[in-house]
């Protein structure tokens, strides 16, 4: 089996992937994946916040300038992956096979 490639957590955060994972998926469910920065600057995954009992979930302060820039960068990368992924697999997001609305085909 080929070696698994990994992205450093600080790059995952800086490129907006963490923000978009939280904003698009975890926040509406009342959760958030956090990063922790050690005294030596090492960045690791810190844990998952749990506010599932909050009816509206979690949201970002939209006054943060980085929010839109990071979201746009991830959206652009998503768009660049869509055509080849659909051509090869027939979908962008893998269907769970639960119901027709689970398939974004």
Write out the DSSP string of 22-82.
IIIIIGGGTEEEEEEE-TT--EEEEEEEE-TTSTT-----TT-HHHHHHHHHHHHHHHHHH
Q: Report the C-alpha gap between 46 and 13 in whole angstroms.
A: 12
pLDDT for the residue 99: 61
Domain ranges of the chain: 9-93
pLDDT for the residue 29: 96
pLDDT tens-place values along the chain, 105 residues long: 899 999 999 999 999 999 999 999 999 999 999 999 999 999 999 999 999 999 999 998 877 667 888 999 999 999 999 999 999 999 999 988 766 555 555
């Amino acid at each position: 089996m080929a070696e698994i490639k990994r992205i450093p957590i600080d790059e995952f955060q800086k490129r907006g992937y963490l923000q978009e994972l939280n904003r698009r998926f975890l926040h509406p469910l009342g959760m958030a994946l956090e990063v922790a920065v050690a005294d030596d600057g090492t960045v690791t995954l810190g844990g998952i916040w749990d506010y599932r009992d909050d009816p509206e979930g979690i949201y970002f302060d939209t006054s943060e300038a980085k929010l839109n820039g990071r979201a746009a960068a991830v959206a652009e990368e998503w768009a660049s992956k869509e055509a080849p992924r659909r051509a090869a697999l027939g979908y962008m997001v893998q269907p769970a096979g639960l119901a027709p609305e689970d398939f974004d085909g």
